[in-house]
Amino acid sequence: MIVKELRGKKPVFGKDCFLAETSVVIGDVVMGDQCSIWYHAVIRGDVHFIKMGNKVNVQDGAVIHATYKTSPTEIGNNVSIAHNAIVHGCTIHDNVLIGMGAIVMDDCVIHSNSIIAAGAVVTKNTVVESGSVYAGTPARKVKDISEELISGEIERIADNYIKYAGWYKE
């Protein structure tokens, strides 16, 4: 893993976090408890801050970045950022799943209990309603989220990644 201080800012990690050997965390990054950063994921807090809550998993190949002086990235609790997703200069509230290969661009707000489908592109300034599933390019609301999706996908994936990270700590 690469954990690098940059311009006087050093990443800060909560309790019980897992960083895979090929993960990269740079600069002004603050991470909560029970987070996991997987293989080839990059969290680059070089141009603005990145704040992550508890139980956030950043899966293989995902990139989290921000925009210089204008758009930090803030991520709530119980958030899964799936393989090869890009999260850039936006706000993601609690209990959110960002699907594989999805892109969330600057100044977007993803409200709680939402899913961004695999491959979706959430364009600049989009506000995703709480309790929604957004899909497509550009991403649009396709349905309201069900309680089954909240417990069966959002919560299950976040909890599973805590379990998976534990396997690597044994």
Helix spans in 22-150 (H) = 147-149
pLDDT digits (tens, 9 = 90+) for 23-53: 999 999 999 999 999 999 999 999 999 999 9
pTM: 0.96
Instruction: Using alpha carbons, list the distances in angstroms from residue 58 to 88, 96, 156.
Output: 13, 12, 15
Q: Which residue spans within the chain are E strands per DSSP?
A: 2-4, 18-19, 24-31, 36-37, 42-52, 57-58, 63-65, 73-75, 79-81, 86-88, 91-92, 96-98, 103-104, 109-110, 114-116, 121-122, 127-128, 132-135, 140-144
Quote the pLDDT of residue 150: 85
Please give the domain boundaries of the chain with CATH numbers for all domains: 2-169 (2.160.10.10)
Distance CA 62, CA 88 (A): 11
pLDDT at 170 exceeding the cut of 80? no
For residue 73, list its beta bridge partners.
50
Query: What single-letter DSSP state applies at residue 12?
Result: B
pLDDT digits (tens, 9 = 90+) for 76-118: 999 999 999 999 999 999 999 999 999 999 999 999 999 999 9
Q: Kindly state the tokens that stand for 137.
A: 């390019």
Compute the C-alpha angle 20/22/25, nearest 5°: 80
Q: Is the CB of residue 134 less than 8 Å from the CB of residue 122? A: yes
Distance CA 145, CA 122 (A): 17
Helix spans in the chain (H) = 147-149, 156-169
